Structure 1
Amino acid sequence: MSLKSMTGYARARRSNDLGEVVVTARSVNHRGLDLHIHLPPELEPFEPALRAAARRHVRRGHLSLRVRFTPAHAAPGAALNRPLFEAYLKAFDEARTGYGIEGAPDLNAALRIPGMLVQAAEDEEAPEGLEALVVETAESALAALDEFRAREGAGLGQALRDLNAAIRRDVDSIADLRIPALDYYQSRLAHRLRELVQGMELDPQRIAQEAAILADKSDIAEEVSRLRVHVDELDRLLAAGGEAGKKLDFLMQEMSRETNTILSKTASSGEFGLRITSLALEIKANIERIREQALNLE
């Protein structure tokens, strides 16, 4: 499965002897699935079928479907929406006088405005085959939306892989500095302990052992190991595709926690600690970049 962005736009148009249906699909980021379907009154009975179609294509995000239907012929019992028609004439007159445009209102264009023709009897059933036309058009729009989101997702996926590769290089560099930083910290502790017990009769070997025990608490081997596991898991998630957004967000929290621990453990490791700090801060910056990008993924 491919990664998909939650942001996309698509439009589909279909027609037959009943008329023309136009469906616009637009999606943006959202924590869950939030469907909004906008239908003219005569198509409202088709909303459950459209919701089912939307759920087949979109798992997460705010999705807006707008459906417009223009009948091929005025249905029996259809009536003119007089307030809307009068508003059309008024707007046309204002545009003509305000901008000096020559011309007259186009009745055919006016009658094609959504809502201009309304059913006189609201309980009249929709023509046979209209639901199929509406749902098929929606499926076409949703399929096109899927293609748009997949293209966006491919670009996001490559950006995330590049950021993860940078994190991997920085983790490897930190691993190379781990032993020198640990040796420096242990030597510094031993020196400090000797200063504190100066004049006391204590075994120098015991002092060195105590320094080693204390220094061991600043060892970042476990954090480096877990970061490497997380980096591998991130690559696996990106390769697997599908609904990766929430999983990536959780993984970034874990990676950020390990990086913070590295920063706290190596704060007193001298020059090596400073180099580790610089690398760890860059890792944190890339983690945040990944988290921001992951918000756009389904």
Structure 2
Amino acid sequence: MPVYSMTGYASASAGGATNPESGAVSGSVSVELRSVNGRFLDLSLRLPDELRSLEPALRELVSGTFKRGKIELRVSTGRDGEGAWPQPTPQQLHLLSRLESTVQGWMSKAPPLSVHEVLQWCRSGGTSEQPDEIAMEAARAAVEGLREAREREGGRLVAILMERVQRLRELAAQAEPLVPQVVQRQQQRFLERWREALATAGAGASVSAEAQAERALSEAAAYAIRIDVAEELSRLKAHLDEIERLLAKGGELGKRLDFLIQELHREANTLGSKSAALELTSVSVEMKVAIEQMREQVQNIE
């Protein structure tokens, strides 16, 4: 299943065809869809007055396709812009002339058609398609176009996220061999300082040398546990495995990815706070940079 971004744009038009028999031109309708990221589905519609009745159908169409994102749907008709008045064709004028003659033959007091009435009929008359049908046709095409655009953008986001996942794995691999070295180094420093403290206390100490050494080893072991980050690295790799699994599965996974990004950030923070060596601190900073880059991309995934 593909991964969809919440960012995209699409447009489509329908109508504007000429009836070969009557020469009438059906009204054209254009639909634009713009989408950006959002926590939920937030749909806003901008419709001309004559198409207000389509709002429920348009909302159902969009909500049936998209689950998250701030989406703006704008509908415009051929008469909305400049140059809305059509150029009457000879077929249209001939048809109108015959119709006018027929009406006046039965209703002798009927006034002749005005130029405005002729242009109005040429713009909207003589078509079997209703404006609502034309608008829905354009909307369906635009929704499909937006779905494809969001799918393409989603594919690019997946590629970026997989690069960051690989970068985090490399950083974790750099940190792993440093952990026992750092623990051993800090234990040695702890014991050296403990011996210095005992030497300063002098021979008047009431505790035996064996008991003092045992206590020093116990304190060193407790300190080693506090600075050991092997568990954090293990959890970080487990979160990366889950992110890769979700990206391969696809579908609606933006909220789950967002939660996993928070967990990654927590592990990187703990790694930084526990690190007793400059090397591990540097790894932690690099991890935070990569995770923040992932967060920015995940915010756009549906």
After TM superposition, the score normalised by the length of structure 1 is: 0.77
Does residue 297 of structure 2 align to residue 289 of structure 1?
no
**1:75 equivalent in structure 2:** none
Query: Matched residue of 1:172: which SS?
Result: helix
**1:280 equivalent in structure 2:** 284
C-alpha separation between the residues in 2 aligned to 1:210 and 1:40?
77
After TM superposition, the score normalised by the length of structure 2 is: 0.76
Instruction: Please tell me whether the aligned partners of residues 53 and 135 of structure 1 are also in contact (alpha carbons under 8 angstroms).
Output: no
- Judged with a 3 Å threshold, the aligned counterparts in structure 2 of structure 1 residues 159 and 68 are, in CA distance, closer, same or farther, namely same
C-alpha separation between the residues in 2 aligned to 1:110 and 1:265?
78
Aligned with residue 30 of structure 1, among 38, 55, 60 = 38
Query: Matched residue of 2:28: which SS?
Result: strand
**1:202 equivalent in structure 2:** 209
Query: Matched residue of 2:85: which SS?
Result: helix
**1:39 equivalent in structure 2:** 47
**1:157 equivalent in structure 2:** 158
User: Percent of aligned positions with the same letter in both sequences?
Assistant: 41
**1:217 equivalent in structure 2:** 226
Q: Residue type of the partner of 1:202?
A: A
Q: How large is the Cα RMSD of the aligned pairs?
A: 2.7
Instruction: Please tell me whether the aligned partners of residues 10 and 145 of structure 1 are also in contact (alpha carbons under 8 angstroms).
Output: yes
**2:102 equivalent in structure 1:** none
Structure 1: gaps of 5 or more residues: 72-83, 89-105, 120-126
**2:4 equivalent in structure 1:** 4
Query: How big is the shift at 1:35?
Result: 0.4
Q: Residue type of the partner of 2:259?
A: F
Instruction: Please tell me whether the aligned partners of residues 10 and 33 of structure 2 are also in contact (alpha carbons under 8 angstroms).
Output: yes
Q: Residue type of the partner of 2:148?
A: E
C-alpha separation between the residues in 2 aligned to 1:133 and 1:194?
89
C-alpha separation between the residues in 2 aligned to 1:43 and 1:133?
11
Residues 191-210 of structure 1: per-residue CA shift (max 9 Å, x gap): 12222233333322332232
Instruction: Please tell me whether the aligned partners of residues 263 and 277 of structure 1 are also in contact (alpha carbons under 8 angstroms).
Output: yes
Query: How big is the shift at 1:241?
Result: 1.7
Residues 157-189 of structure 1: per-residue CA shift (max 9 Å, x gap): 101100110001101111121111111111111
Instruction: Please tell me whether the aligned partners of residues 21 and 133 of structure 1 are also in contact (alpha carbons under 8 angstroms).
Output: yes
**1:58 equivalent in structure 2:** 66
Does residue 236 of structure 2 align to residue 227 of structure 1?
yes
Task: Count residues in correspondence.
Answer: 250
Hey, which of these two has a bigger chunk of strand by percent? 1
Query: How big is the shift at 1:135?
Result: 2.0
C-alpha separation between the residues in 2 aligned to 1:12 and 1:245?
28
Equivalent positions of 1:1-298 (< 5 A) are 1-15=1-15, 18-70=26-78, 108=85, 129-198=130-199, 199=202, 200=205, 201-203=208-210, 204-266=213-275, 268=276, 273-298=277-302
Instruction: Please tell me whether the aligned partners of residues 189 and 215 of structure 1 are also in contact (alpha carbons under 8 angstroms).
Output: no
Query: Matched residue of 2:157: which SS?
Result: helix
Query: How big is the shift at 1:225?
Result: 0.9
C-alpha separation between the residues in 2 aligned to 1:190 and 1:216?
15
C-alpha separation between the residues in 1 aligned to 2:85 and 2:56?
32
Query: Matched residue of 1:19: which SS?
Result: coil
C-alpha separation between the residues in 1 aligned to 2:282 and 2:246?
27
Q: Residue type of the partner of 2:54?
A: F
Larger Rg: 2
Residues 113-135 of structure 1: per-residue CA shift (max 9 Å, x gap): xxx99x9xxxxxxx985433322
Residues 128-162 of structure 1: per-residue CA shift (max 9 Å, x gap): 85433322321110100111111111111101100
Query: Matched residue of 2:64: which SS?
Result: helix
Instruction: Please tell me whether the aligned partners of residues 219 and 265 of structure 1 are also in contact (alpha carbons under 8 angstroms).
Output: yes
Query: How big is the shift at 1:214?
Result: 2.1
Q: Residue type of the partner of 1:280?
A: S
Residues 49-86 of structure 1: per-residue CA shift (max 9 Å, x gap): 00000112221111111112348xxxxxxxxxxxx99x
C-alpha separation between the residues in 1 aligned to 2:156 and 2:87?
43
**2:92 equivalent in structure 1:** none
Instruction: Please tell me whether the aligned partners of residues 193 and 211 of structure 1 are also in contact (alpha carbons under 8 angstroms).
Output: no
- Judged with a 3 Å threshold, the aligned counterparts in structure 2 of structure 1 residues 109 and 191 are, in CA distance, closer, same or farther, namely farther
**2:113 equivalent in structure 1:** none
